[in-house]
Every structure is written in C-alpha cells, then in structure tokens.
C-alpha cells in the first residue's frame, strides 16, 4: 500500500474529531468578510491544538489529549447528496496528479526498480531505454514506498463527506459557537436571539439536519471585535458584562482586523487558508457552483473527462436518512447565516479571475489571537463540557443498568431462556432496520464510547464499544453492532502500549455486515480504509491487499480503481515483493480508472505495469498494455507517447492474429497521421514498418547488365543478383593486382586497393567508395514485414545529402554548400533536385505478410563531390482484403522515413580495442563522386559453351567505349591464360570478320604431301613469352593508342578446350585507363566469367627410346643427323570420347614437335597407315625418329628459339609455328601439376633444372648425368573430329601436348584417369625435405652407349681347325658433354644354367680388360676376337662396361638389359 504523509494514528484521529457548529450575526459575518472568509473558514487553519489538554475520566484518572483537532462548520451546512459526493470525489482525484518536474519516485522490488510517478509514462515507452539514469538515489530504508496523493485526497474528501448517522455520534455536533459583532447596539440581545435559534434548530423537530450529540449542547458566546473599525473600550465593557452573564469559561472576546489601510501594500503576509480553500469545501452551501467550475476546469480540460459522464451515472451511496428539503439556513428562514451570505467568487475557481487573497486585514498578532481563541475554547469550554457529559452518562448508565438490565435479563431468562443463539449474517438481514429510541441505554453506552474516543480515552472507549457490541448483537441490531465492532477494533489499535492485539476479525465482520446485511457501501468502504491502514502499519500487506480487493465492485469504478491500486502497492511492499501481482492489479486499476473517466491515472497505471511486463516475452500482455497506453495518450493529447506505444506493438514479432494486427496498424496510422499533420516543415519522423535490415544493405556502382543480343554475349561483370563469394573476391583481387603490377612496370603502387563494384557486409568498407559522375549507383534495401498484414509502400525513394566538390583543383577539391533532399522528399517531391542527383521513385512496393523483400533504389549523380545516403522515405499504408484501394485507405497512408545506419566491424587490433567494444566505420553509403572516366563494354561473338578437350575454336571479341572519355591501356588477365589467345603479330592473314571465318579452319594450313618434317624456328618473344614464364597479362593493341568515345574494336579470339574434362570456370579481367589521369581513380576493370564444359577427346601417350644405331656410311646429311644423336619416339593415341558430343571419329592429321634441342625427323610407320582414323574406344600407335637440332653454328640468339617440326599424315600441312598452334603451345601449363583454377604466378614452361641445392661438384655431376637421359621435346598432336549436330556434319579441330622429359619414361597428355586420383589424404605433419639429389645408377648407365658389330653367321671347318676366331668390333659412344672414364672387362662369364642351355660357352682372346678415356660425345671402336670351340649359337653380349665421370669416383656398369642379345651362329663346314 502506498506511503501516506500521516501516520496511521494521526489519520484515524483526524478522521474522527469533535464537531462544533457556528451561528453568526450579520454584523459578525460582515467583519470576517473583509478577509474574503466566513467565520468557520477563518478558524479552520488554527483548529489543531499545539499544546496538550487534560481531563479526568469517571475514575478520576487524568487523560492527556495530544494534537486534538476541532472541526468548525456552519450550523446551516447542507449535507451533500450522492451525486454531489460522486462529483466531489472524482474531481478530487482528477485534480491531484503526480508532478512531472519532481524527482522520480522509485520502489526497489526484488530485481526491479519501479518508477512510481508520472515519469513511468516515459519509462515504459520503447525509446526511453535509459530511464534508470533519471531515477533519484533510493532511500536508505529497505522498502521505499511511493506516495499516492490522489488516494489520500480521495480518502480525506470521502471521510469528510460522510453523512451523520443515527447509529453513531462521532460526527454529531458537540457545541455551538454564537458569534456577535461588538458593533451591535445591544450584543446581549443578539446573543439571546442566536441562542434561541440554536435551541429551535435542535429541539423543534423541524429539521433532520444537523444532528446533535447530546440534548444539552455547549453554547460558547464569542464577541467579535473589528479593531480597525470599532470602539475597543465598548467591546471590553460588553465582554465584562458577558463574563458576568455567561461565566469566564463560556465566552470570549476575539479581536481581529488590526491591520490598517496605511500598511505597506507590498508587505507579504502568510496565507494559511489557501491550502484549505483550494480543496473542495464539502461543507459549503454554494457547493454546486464550486463543483461546476472545478469540473469544467479540471475534469474536461485536464483529464478528458466528460462532465455529463459523472453526473448521469447513478452512484450507489445510499444514506440511511430520507432526503429532507428542510435544513437550517434555508433562505425562507430568518436566520442570518454566516456561510449563506457568501457569493461564489472565490479566487481561482472562476475562469479568468485573478487569485483572491485571504486574511488581508489580519496581522500575525491576529493569527495568534485566533489560535489562542481556539485553545481557550477547547481547554476551558469544550473539554470540560465533554468531561462533565462523560461523568453524567457514566452515572446514568450505572444507575439505570442496575435496574433495567437485570430486570430485562430476568425476563429473558423467565420467558426465553439464556443466551441468544448466534445467527449467520444471512439470517439477520431483516434486523438491519432496527432503531433505538434516543434515551435507550444501549445508545447511551455508544454515546459515552464516542465521547471517550473523541478525547483519546481509548481504553474506556474500547470497554464501552465492547459492551455495546454485545448488547446490539443480543438485540440483533446489526447496523449498530457493526458500528460498535468497527470502533472497538480501532480503539483497541489506538490504545497506548498495545495491551491487546488488533482484532482484525472485528473489522471483517463489520465490513461484511455493512455490505451484505445493511447494504451500506459507504460505511463498508470507511471500515475497509481504516482497517487497511492498520494492517499496513503492522506490515500485514497480504491481508490488507485481500481486504482492498474484496471491496472492489461494479457499483463504483473510481473506488475500485483506487483500492486496486493500493492493493498493488501492498504486493510490492511485502517482504518478498510480488512484482507480477503488482503489475496485474495495476492493469486492473488502470482499466477501472479508464471506466471512471480518469484518463491520466489510467495511463499512469498501465505505464507502471509495463515496467514489469516489458522484455519478459509476454508479447500478448505487452501488446494489450501498449495498445491501451497508445489510446489513452492520444485521448490526453500526447500523440508522441501514443505513436511510441503503437510503434512498439508493430516492431516486435507479434503473435497476434492478422485481424488484430490490422487493427493495431490502422490505429497507429490514424494516430501517426494526426501527429504529423501540424509539422509539415520539420523532418519526417521514423516509421516502424517494415523492418529494415541495415547490415544487409548492398550498394552497386555502375549500370545494369545488358542482356545477350543474338550471337553477342555481353561480359557478365558484377551485379546485385550475384551472391558474394569470398574465394572469388580474392581471386579477382589477385588478378587485378597482377595486371596493375604489369601496368606499373612490375611494382604495385602503395595506394592500390582492389576495385569493389558491389559493397555489402562481407566487403571491406573502411574507405570511402569511389563512384563516377553520370554513372548510376543502386542501393539494395532489405525490407522485412513482421506482421501478418499486407504492407503497401508508395513513393519509395532514397534520402541523401550531397556536398559538391571540384576535384580538379590543386587542393584536391573545394567545398560548396551541402544539399539534402529531405524537405523535398517529405512533401513527396523527391525528384525536385534531379539536376544535382537524379533520384528514382518506386510508385508502389508491396511487402506481403511476414515477407522479406528487396528494393533496389537508383541514384544518378550529375556533379562531383561527396554523397551520403541517409535513409529511405515512403508512404506507409495497408491494403484491404479485397485489394481495392479505397479513399479511406488512401487517407490512411502516412509519410515517414527510416534511417540506414550501418554499424561497422568491431575493432580488435590494439589492447584498448580488445578490452572494449569499439566499431570502425562502414562507408558503403558514403561514396565520393569522381570526375568522368571511360566505361568499357565487352561483347563476345560465337563464344562456345562446350568444347572437346584440346579443341581449338575461333571466336570474336568486341570492345566498345560507351563513355564520353577516351580509353587507353587495355589489358586482359585471366585465371586460365592457356585457355585463350588473341594471336601474334603474324596472325593477320586470317579472315577479319566472324561471318567470313564461319567455315574456315582456325589454323594456317598449306597443301604439302607427306615427307620429311618441315622445320621452322620461332622465338617465344613473338608470342608474348619472355624467359620461361607464361604471359599472365595480355595487352591488347589499340589503333592510335586508344579507343575514343563511342568507338568499337572487334578482334579474333582463339580458344582451346581445357585438357581435363568437366566444368571449368574461367575468369577474365579487362583493365583499362583514361587518357587523362584521374586523381581519385587511376584505372577501371571489367570482369567476365565463362563456364566451359569440356568433353573427352583423345588421350596421347609418348615414350622416347634411345637409338642404338651409330653413324653409318650413308648420305652426309643423314650421317650428320645421326652423329648428333637420334632417338625413337612412340606416340600412342586413344579415342576416349564417349560420343556424348556427337563425335563420330577422330583423324590424326599431323604430329608436330617443338623443342630447343630435338625435332621429329620422319615417320617410320608403315606407308599405308598415314592418316590414322580412330572411332570410339580405338587406339593407334605412331613411331617417329627424332634427331637433335643442328646448332653448331647457332648464335646465342638462336639458342633461345624453338624449332617446330611438322609431320603431316595427310596432304595438308598445319603450320604449327604460327597462331593459334604456337600460342597455345607457349601458353600450356605444366603437365605434372594440373592447375586447380587459381591464379598463375608465372613459371609456365616446365623448368628442368634441379631445384634442390647441393654442393658444386655434385651439382655439376648431376647436371651432366641428367642431361644424358633428359629429353626436352614436346609433341603436338593435331586432330580433326567429325561431329554430327542438327543433321549437319561439322569438323572440329584441336591439338594435344605431350612433354617428353626422360628417355624411357612414358609421358601423356592430362587424362581423365589421372583426374580421378586427385583426392589426397590429409597430412597433419609436414613432409620431410627431399635429400640432396645425386645421380642414380640408372642415370649413370646412360653415360655410354655400346654396340657390337659382328657377322650374323660364321662358317668354320672345325674338323680341320679346332679353334674358331671371329673378329668383333665394340663401338663405344660418349652420350654426355663431359669426359668419361671407361673400363671394359671381358672376363665375365655367363653362369646361369638357363643361359648355358640356350647359348654355348666361348671365350675372348687377347687383352681382356681395357681402360679408356672418352672425350665428350666421342665415338671409339675397339677390335676384339671371340674364340669358339664348336658349332652352335652364341651370345656375344657378355662384356661388362663400367663408366664414370672423370671428376667423380663412382663407377657404374652400363646397363645391357634393355639391349637385344648379340647372337652369332657358328656353322661347322
């Protein structure tokens, strides 16, 4: 329960005070009227005694009276009727609102800090998230309760408006002051008249009001003297006469108005009357005027309460007195009433009137005199009178009780027996109307109890109430019994020292009796208010809350609202605060306040409850509270709070039905529209719908992509439809870095940043992006509709701010005034500034229920400068179910905006950033508009989507400059440089247009019959190859050095299908610059990605074998070729195509070679198998002789050239040393490691030198040995394929490359079998470094080539000569370029039994071991003699040949395993 300003004891004592009536003469009323006060009003601020009083009880015990307050009212005050009471209470609650300027009132309840004040309106709305910061420091006590002054005002007015009742005497008059002015001619006569009038009012029986406590009412005679206008001596003499007549304790001379007109007008005097007169004076006879004025001022204007609502409803206050029109002070009566003479002109009540001052003729001495007068009256008049009456009543009761009660009890015992059986409340309903005569002893006991209670003698009062309670219950007088129970409980509580506990069950019985039996809710409510305060003071909050909740009913919304609110406060003041119960009962209270017309209090209750429900996931409860807060705020003309509350309903993920959400949305639109109408010039407010995912906003700089036109296919470039791929972005950045390095002579500038056309949350947005003037930019905004209701956005456009700058100036730009389109967009004229920046407006954008939809908004800048995209502006509306846009829905469209605020990435570099949460900038919406730059568009003509592996296809590419600025420095970089070529300088013989080249071969051909290979020498530099690196960046020559505005260039493009089957993504990056240097933007790029599907074609395997033939006596040319070295090359070709591309058969039309050391010499296949045709899954084998190139007279320049040798198998020779065959040869990739699609970093041609460092001797030896067995020969197999497509036969061409590296080791083109072996096991440990390379035994065995020359058969007459000597020549050839030491050992014998069975045994005669030294490439012949003993077949291949390099100590036997056996037949003749 809320904290009160008074203690419970003070509150109860002030609720029951002695009542004193006042009768004034007209002259006396005139004297007080100088101060704008009646006599009772004059006394009211001084009616509380500041000193203690004393009296003695019947037992002669002294009773102290502390802080007694006396109620002084006019005798003719009319009691208010029920309607007036209802208006009075409603007005009192309305007028008492929590002040907004004071510090917030806070309760700490569990984990909650509840703001219990008007600031709770702010604390509950969503945007007021920091409300805790505004709260004052909490009280040091454990429970710091809030005050509810409106409840105290209600309670005070309610208790003051209690009508006098027959069953109790607490609010009956105890005394009457008779006031006469000293200016009267004969004051004593006037006193006599007033005395008679009082007697007539009390005893004539004409009036039902007022009610008097005892028949012998105390009359106190007051002579009122006006010091400023009267004779003081006469007043003193009259007073002396009065003391003689009435006694010193029965009269008083009160002197007032001592202030003269000459006193300073600026002197400030205290006004103690204002606090009493501002409250509604319920005892005023002109009640109606006051209430009407206050009702009009407060209820209608402040609270939105319709006055007719208050009056028209019937209030259930049912007074037990029957209405009586006759009461003292009726104008028809000749009674000069003090209060009736007033005219309704109190200050502050009449609209527009100046505030009235009170007590203007009084000084501080007058205040003291009035205070002294009240004290004298109480101590010398009232308290002795009460003491005397208590004694009299006690004596009467003692004497009367001894006879009557004993006789009565004896009669009951005689006739009916002893104790009356207890009856339930239901059975006693018919006894509620029982009335006692005034002289009944039961009432005398009650009267004595009330007197004791009024003078704070609670012990005796409790005893009397307890006795009366028994008597009333025995008589079944339930109204009287309930009153006695109520006051007995209060008296027990107020007894000092607490001799007995508070009997709460007395109060419960009293309330139940009042409510259910007597049907008197007024008395029941008073009883509940008293009991709740007592229970609260004893910290029995649960019982107090239960009591208050029981008192709520449908008959009074205001009472129910107040009691529910107090019950809610009880719940949070419990030892374990029940915060949710508090919130629930605050909601109930707010509902009842709303029904009672108390809009402000209803709003306050809902806002306080919202603090508990907010953020707990109880969305339906939150929605209900926010909806009510929004409505109440709107009714109270607080549209900002209303919009905030409705906004909160809409932005959360609502669980309401679609119908309910639609109602919420319409309500929001209506409130929002009424709010935004007066402020057309200001910035548009923020709209809550639809939700914008700011972080997902994407920005694209450039034009929309063009669609394909016939055979023309535009470059794919970048567009918003493409999803961000981090690997692809890294790939493009590496490509751009490569081409920038080439354009800047091998070094990348420090300021280089990869070009980003599309910015998103995945890109680096720390720097300002660069856009080009007169080129559009697109902002993609992601809208999400959280509701189940269709949202219609109309006139959707971007808000921006632009600062114009001229970047051509020396200082990097000069600032001009900043321009924004916010004002234009607010009034629906977003295109008004199109001369600066063209703004696209989307007429209608519909977001379906719970849909996430993307809007692309375009801006086109026309000036250079700095642009900032601020947000979006649009009209928000909703469509009806029938989708018809009616006039109502048009009216319900509101215009607003939403900001695009993107939080940058969290910084995590420095220690400070790691220990705190800091975010960097995100500048994707803040581009810098740079001066004009060229804009390139690229189109591909006849570009294929599928190729056979190795297939050569000719396409065309067209470059178009679509800007107004010239273009230069055009270059292309690609992830697959081996995939395409633009040809060399010698490729201008081919057709120049796509149509002319449609049926022509992609190769340069010549009609030549098959013969010895045609040889051509080509430098790699002619094809853009420098050193051993593949050209990663290709420069495209432009006529005149550039491409002017609007100009186009069309050049051929040769493509070669990838060597591996499957789908290949190939990326092209086109780089170009402007003719004039741009300070902000140095270059631009255009991206293009193609997908090529490669199908199987041929698999080529090649093997090189050393030829054992030595120079013979042939033609000089042939002999020279053989002397320089020759070898056999076997080419194995297999058709592995599975006919998925419609291929019928392949023709091997030519085999070419390219090498700096070797060349194909001639084909040694059978003559009839020149043109090899291979159908599906067929295989063919070709054999060629290769010889070394003649380089004896070659210069150093020629050494760098490659020798191309063409061996055509048909009648048409393809010139392999020209475009495109040679281009693709030089662009081929390393065959040993197939590329995975990444960017090549050079090293295209296979490097055949050892990459492992070693010692100088070992390295030179290794080099020499390896070169003996190393072959640098590339085989190019050119083929044609016949394809049937759309009933037409097409001829496809292609070439495959095989790199022969080592003699005897098979090499193959990249086949599909190898592709399946790509999966590699994960390695968790690094591989060990390879050991130092040393020549293997196999390599050493290739140093020497041996050959035996002997007759195939030899005839010898064994019978004549038993020994047969046959001459044999052993030819040794040094294959290396170094000096070699050779040892020949003839002592070797074949020991294997198999060899002995096949070949007979023989022996060598003569020297059996030779040691020779061969110079580089020297041929040495050694003459030997073999000795045979009998005829037979012998194997002469038994000599063992050991060879070593001259500087090495390692010997190795020359391998003879691969040579055929040297068989000789010895015949006997």
Q: How confident is the model at residue 1230 (pLDDT cuts 50, 70, 90)?
A: low
The average pLDDT across 34-46 equals 91
Residue 853: pLDDT above 90?
yes
Distance CA 1080, CA 1102 (A): 55
Q: Which of 1088, 1408, 1096 is nearest to 1281 (CA)?
A: 1096
Structural tokens at position 419: 């104790």
Mean pLDDT of 411-436: 46
- Evaluate if residue 1238 carries a pLDDT over 90: no
Residue 1121 predicted with pLDDT over 60: no
Query: Pairing state of beta strands 758-759 and 698-701?
Result: antiparallel
Mean pLDDT of 31-52: 90
The mean per-residue pLDDT over the stretch 166-174 comes to 91
Cα(976)–Cα(1067) distance, rounded to whole angstroms?
7
Instruction: Mention every residue, 6+ apart, whose C-beta is less than 8 A from residue 548.
Output: 1, 528, 532, 563, 564, 566, 567, 570
User: How sure is the predictor about 530, in pLDDT bands with cuts at 50, 70 and 90?
Assistant: very high
Q: What is the pLDDT of residue 384?
A: 94
Q: Is 705 exposed, middle or buried (0-12, 13-18, 19+ CB in 10 A)?
A: middle
pLDDT of residue 328: 60
pLDDT at 663 over 70: yes
Task: Name the token pair of 666.
Answer: 């319409």
Question: What mean pLDDT, rounded, does the chain reach?
Answer: 78
Q: How far is CA 1336 from CA 529, 1251, 1263, 1450, 1466, in A?
A: 113, 17, 12, 11, 39
DSSP letter, residue 996: T
Whether the predicted pLDDT of 101 surpasses 70: no
Q: What's the pLDDT tens digit per position in 753-782?
A: 888 889 988 888 888 999 999 999 999 999
User: Which residues, 6 or more positions from 135, have their beta carbon under 8 angstroms from its beta carbon?
Assistant: 103, 104, 106, 113, 115
pLDDT score of 1389: 62
Distance between CA atoms of 39 and 45, rounded to whole angstroms?
A: 12
End-to-end CA distance of the chain: 146
pLDDT tier for residue 630 given thresholds of 50, 70 and 90: confident
Q: Are 849 and 788 in contact (CB under 8 A)?
A: yes
Lowest mean pLDDT among 273-287, 298-312, 1391-1405: 298-312
Maximum average pLDDT range among 598-607, 800-809, 1134-1143: 598-607
Q: What is the mean pLDDT of residues 29-58?
A: 90
Compute the distance between CA of residue 602 and CA of residue 587 in angstroms, rounded to an integer. Answer: 9
- pLDDT at site 714: 87
Q: What percent of the chain has pLDDT over 70?
A: 76
Mean pLDDT highest for which of 427-441, 559-573, 756-770, 1040-1054? 559-573
SS3 1457: coil
Q: Decide if 1223 contacts 1020 (C-beta within 8 A).
A: no
CB-neighbour burial class of residue 1178 (10 A; exposed 0-12, middle 13-18, buried 19+): middle
Asked if residue 785 has pLDDT above 80, the reply is yes
- Binned at pLDDT 50, 70 and 90, residue 867 comes out as very high
Record the pTM: 0.68
Tokens of 603: 């709003």
Tell me what the mean pLDDT of segment 150-174 comes to.
90
* pLDDT score, position 135: 30
| 896: pLDDT strictly greater than 90 | no
The stretch 980-986 carries a mean pLDDT of 75
How far is 1204 from 1212, CA to CA, in rounded Å?
16
Mean pLDDT computed over 1211-1231 = 81
Q: Which is more confident, 1367 or 1260? A: 1367
pLDDT of residue 1379: 85
Higher pLDDT, 273 or 1456: 273
Least Cα distance to 19 among 492, 370, 451, 442 occurs for 451
The pLDDT of residue 1233? 40
Annotate 1276-1315 with b (16+ C-beta within 10 A) or e (fewer). bbbbbbebeeeeeeeebbbbbbbbbbbbeeebbbbbeeee
pLDDT tens by residue, 699-727: 999 888 877 676 788 888 888 778 888 88
Is pLDDT above 60 for 673? yes
Per-residue model confidence (pLDDT) at position 415: 36
Calpha distance 118→97 (Å, rounded): 8
Count other C-beta atoms under 10 Å from residue 678's C-beta: 9
Confidence of residue 825 (pLDDT cuts 50, 70, 90): confident
Mean of the pLDDT values across residues 144-162?
A: 82
pLDDT for the residue numbered 852: 92
Residues 186-232 have pLDDT tens digits of: 999 999 999 999 999 988 888 888 889 998 899 999 999 998 888 88
Predicted local confidence at residue 291, as pLDDT = 34
Among the ranges given (32-46, 90-104, 1090-1104, 1434-1448), the one the predictor scored with the smallest mean pLDDT: 90-104
Query: What phi, psi does 402 have (nearest 5°)?
Result: -60, -35
Rounded CA-CA distance 234/223 in Å is 11
Q: Are 1251 and 1039 in contact (CB under 8 A)?
A: no
pLDDT (mean) for 103-117: 54
Maximum mean pLDDT: which of 695-704, 879-888, 993-1002, 1008-1017: 695-704
Cite the DSSP H helix spans in 332-376.
Answer: 364-376
Cα separation, 216 vs 1, in Å, equals: 43
Query: How large is the average pLDDT for residues 669-689?
Result: 72
């Amino acid at each position: 329960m809320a904290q009160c300003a008074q203690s419970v004891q003070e509150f109860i004592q002030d609720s029951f005070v002695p009542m004193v009536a006042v009768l004034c003469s007209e002259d006396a009323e005139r004297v007080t009227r100088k101060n704008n006060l009646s006599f009772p009003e004059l006394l009211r601020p001084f009616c509380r005694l500041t000193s203690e009083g004393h009296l003695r009880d019947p037992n002669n015990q002294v009773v102290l009276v502390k802080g007694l307050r006396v109620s002084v009212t006019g005798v003719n005050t009319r009691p208010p009727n029920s309607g007036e009471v209802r208006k009075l209470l409603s007005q009192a609650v309305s007028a008492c609102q929590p002040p907004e300027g004071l510090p917030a009132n806070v309760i700490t309840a569990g984990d909650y800090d509840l703001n219990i004040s008007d600031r709770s309106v702010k604390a509950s709305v969503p945007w007021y998230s920091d409300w805790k910061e505004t709260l004052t420091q909490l009280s040091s006590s454990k429970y710091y309760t809030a005050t509810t002054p409106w409840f105290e005002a209600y309670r005070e007015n309610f208790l003051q408006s209690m009508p006098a009742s027959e069953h109790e005497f607490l609010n009956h008059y105890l005394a009457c002051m008779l006031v006469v002015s000293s200016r009267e001619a004969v004051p004593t006569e006037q006193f006599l008249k007033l005395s008679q009038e009082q007697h007539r009012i009390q005893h004539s029986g004409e009036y039902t009001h007022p009610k008097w406590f005892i028949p012998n009412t105390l009359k106190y005679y007051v002579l009122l003297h006006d010091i400023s206008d009267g004779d003081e001596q006469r007043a003193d003499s009259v007073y002396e006469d009065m003391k003689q007549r009435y006694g010193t304790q029965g009269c008083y001379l009160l002197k007032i108005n001592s202030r003269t007109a000459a006193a300073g007008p600026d002197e400030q005097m205290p006004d103690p009357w204002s606090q009493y007169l501002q409250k509604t004076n319920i005892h005023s006879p002109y009640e109606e005027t006051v209430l009407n004025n206050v009702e009009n001022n407060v209820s209608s204007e402040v609270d939105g309460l319709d006055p007719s609502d208050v009056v028209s409803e019937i209030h259930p206050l049912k007074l037990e007195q029957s209405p009586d029109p006759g009461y003292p002070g009726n104008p028809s009566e000749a009674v000069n009433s003090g209060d009736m003479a007033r005219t309704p002109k109190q200050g502050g009540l009449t609209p527009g009137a100046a505030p009235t001052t009170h007590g203007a003729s009084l000084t501080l001495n007058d205040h003291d005199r009035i205070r002294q007068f009240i004290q004298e009256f109480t101590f010398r008049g009232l308290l002795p009178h009460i003491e005397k009456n208590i004694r009299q009543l006690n004596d009467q009761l003692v004497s009367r009780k001894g006879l009557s009660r004993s006789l009565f009890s004896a009669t009951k015992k005689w006739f009916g027996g002893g104790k009356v059986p207890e009856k339930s409340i239901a059975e006693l309903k018919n006894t509620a109307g029982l009335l006692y005569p005034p002289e009944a002893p039961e009432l005398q006991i009650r009267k004595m109890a009330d007197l004791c209670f009024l003078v704070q003698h609670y012990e005796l009062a409790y005893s009397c109430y307890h006795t009366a309670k028994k008597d009333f219950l025995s008589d079944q007088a339930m109204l009287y019994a309930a009153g006695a129970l109520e006051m007995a409980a209060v008296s027990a509580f107020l007894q000092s020292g607490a001799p007995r506990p508070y009997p709460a069950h007395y109060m419960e019985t009293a309330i139940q009796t009042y409510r259910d039996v007597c049907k008197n809710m007024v008395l029941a409510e008073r009883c509940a208010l008293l009991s709740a305060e007592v229970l609260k003071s004893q910290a029995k909050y649960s019982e107090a809350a239960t009591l208050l909740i029981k008192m709520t009913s449908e008959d009074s919304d205001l009472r129910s609202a107040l009691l529910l609110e107090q019950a809610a406060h009880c719940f949070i003041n419990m030892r374990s605060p029940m915060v949710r119960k508090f919130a629930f009962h605050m909601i109930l209270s707010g509902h009842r306040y709303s029904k009672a017309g108390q809009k402000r209090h209803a709003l306050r209750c809902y806002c306080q409850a919202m603090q508990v429900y907010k953020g707990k996931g109880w969305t339906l409860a939150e929605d209900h509270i926010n909806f009510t807060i929004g409505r109440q705020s709107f009714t109270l003309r607080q549209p900002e709070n209303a919009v905030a509350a409705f906004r909160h309903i809409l932005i959360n993920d609502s669980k309401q039905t679609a119908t309910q959400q639609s109602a919420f949305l319409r309500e929001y639109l209506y409130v929002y529209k009424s709010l935004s109408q007066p402020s057309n010039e200001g910035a548009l407010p923020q709209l809550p719908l639809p939700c914008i995912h700011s972080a997902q906003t994407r920005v694209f700089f450039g034009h929309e992509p063009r669609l394909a036109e016939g055979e023309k296919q535009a470059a794919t470039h970048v567009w918003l439809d493409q999803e961000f791929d981090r690997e692809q972005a890294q790939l493009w950045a590496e490509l751009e870095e490569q081409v920038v390095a080439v354009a800047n002579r091998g070094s990348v500038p420090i300021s280089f940043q990869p070009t980003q056309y599309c910015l998103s949350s995945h890109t680096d947005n720390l720097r300002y992006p660069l856009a080009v003037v007169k080129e559009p930019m697109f902002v993609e905004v992601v809208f999400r509709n959280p509701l189940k209701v269709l949202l219609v956005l109309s006139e959707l456009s971007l808000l921006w701010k632009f600062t114009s700058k001229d970047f051509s100036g020396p200082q990097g730009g000069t600032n001009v005034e900043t321009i924004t389109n916010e004002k234009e967009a607010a009034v629906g004229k977003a295109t008004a500034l199109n001369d600066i920046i063209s703004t696209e407006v989307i007429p209608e954008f519909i977001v379906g229920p719970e849909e996430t939809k993307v809007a692309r908004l375009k801006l086109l800048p026309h000036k250079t400068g700095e642009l900032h995209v601020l947000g979006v502006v649009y009209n928000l509306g909703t469509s009806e179910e029938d989708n018809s846009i009616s006039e109502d829905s048009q009216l319900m469209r509101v215009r607003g905006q939403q900001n695009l605020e993107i939080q940058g990435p969290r910084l995590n570099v420095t220690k400070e950033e790691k220990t705190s949460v800091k975010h960097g900038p995100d500048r994707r919406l803040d581009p810098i508009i740079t001066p004009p730059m060229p804009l390139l568009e690229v189109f591909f003509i006849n570009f294929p989507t599928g190729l056979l592996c190795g297939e050569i296809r000719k396409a065309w590419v067209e470059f178009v400059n679509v800007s107004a600025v010239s273009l230069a420095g055009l270059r292309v970089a690609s992830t697959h440089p081996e995939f395409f070529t633009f040809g060399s300088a010698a490729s201008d013989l081919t057709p120049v247009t796509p149509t002319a080249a449609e049926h022509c071969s992609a190769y340069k051909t010549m009609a030549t019959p098959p013969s010895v290979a045609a040889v051509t020498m080509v430098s790699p530099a002619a094809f853009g190859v420098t050193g051993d690196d593949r050209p990663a960046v290709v420069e495209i020559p432009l006529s005149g050095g550039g491409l002017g505005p609007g100009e186009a260039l069309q050049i051929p493009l040769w493509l070669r299908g990838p060597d591996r089957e499957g789908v290949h993504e190939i990326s092209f990056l086109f780089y170009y610059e402007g003719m004039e240097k741009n300070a902000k933007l140095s270059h631009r790029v255009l991206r293009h990605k193609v997908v090529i599907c490669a199908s199987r074609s041929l698999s080529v395997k090649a093997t090189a074998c050393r030829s054992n033939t030595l120079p013979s006596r042939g033609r000089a040319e042939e002999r020279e070729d053989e002397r320089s070295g020759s070898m056999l090359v076997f080419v194995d070709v297999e058709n592995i195509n599975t006919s998925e591309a419609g291929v019928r058969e392949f023709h091997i039309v030519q085999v070419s070679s390219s090498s700096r050391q070797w060349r194909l010499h001639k084909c040694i296949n059978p003559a009839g198998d020149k043109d090899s045709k291979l159908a599906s899954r067929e295989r063919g084998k070709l054999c060629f002789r290769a010889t070394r190139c003649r380089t004896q007279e070659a210069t150093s320049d020629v050494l760098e050239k490659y020798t191309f040798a063409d061996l055509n198998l048909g009648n048409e020779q393809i010139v392999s040393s020209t475009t495109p065959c040679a281009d693709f040869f030089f662009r081929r990739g390393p065959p040993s490691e197939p590329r995975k699609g990444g960017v090549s970093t050079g090293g295209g041609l296979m490097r055949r030198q050892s990459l492992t460092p070693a010692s100088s001797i070992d390295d030179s030896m290794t080099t020499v040995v390896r070169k003996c067995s190393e072959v640098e020969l590339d085989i190019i197999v050119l083929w044609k394929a016949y394809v049937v497509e759309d009933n037409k036969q097409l001829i496809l061409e292609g070439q495959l490359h095989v790199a022969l590296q080592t003699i005897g080791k098979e090499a193959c083109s990249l086949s599909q079998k190898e592709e399946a072996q790509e999966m590699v096991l994960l390695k968790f440990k690094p591989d060990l470094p390879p050991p130092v390379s040393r020549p293997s035994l196999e390599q050493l065995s290739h140093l020497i080539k041996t050959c035996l020359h002997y007759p195939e058969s030899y005839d010898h007459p064994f019978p004549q000569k038993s020994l047969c000597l046959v001459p044999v020549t052993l030819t040794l050839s040094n294959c290396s370029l170094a000096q070699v030491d050779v040892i020949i050992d003839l002592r070797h014998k074949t020991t294997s039994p198999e060899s002995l069975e096949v070949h007979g045994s023989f022996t060598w005669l003569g020297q059996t071991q030779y040691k020779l030294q061969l110079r580089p490439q020297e041929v040495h012949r050694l003459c030997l003699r073999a000795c045979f003993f009998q005829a037979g077949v012998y194997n002469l291949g038994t000599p063992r040949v050991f060879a070593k390099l001259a500087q090495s100590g390692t010997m190795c036997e020359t391998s003879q395993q691969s040579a055929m056996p040297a068989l000789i037949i010895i015949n006997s003749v």
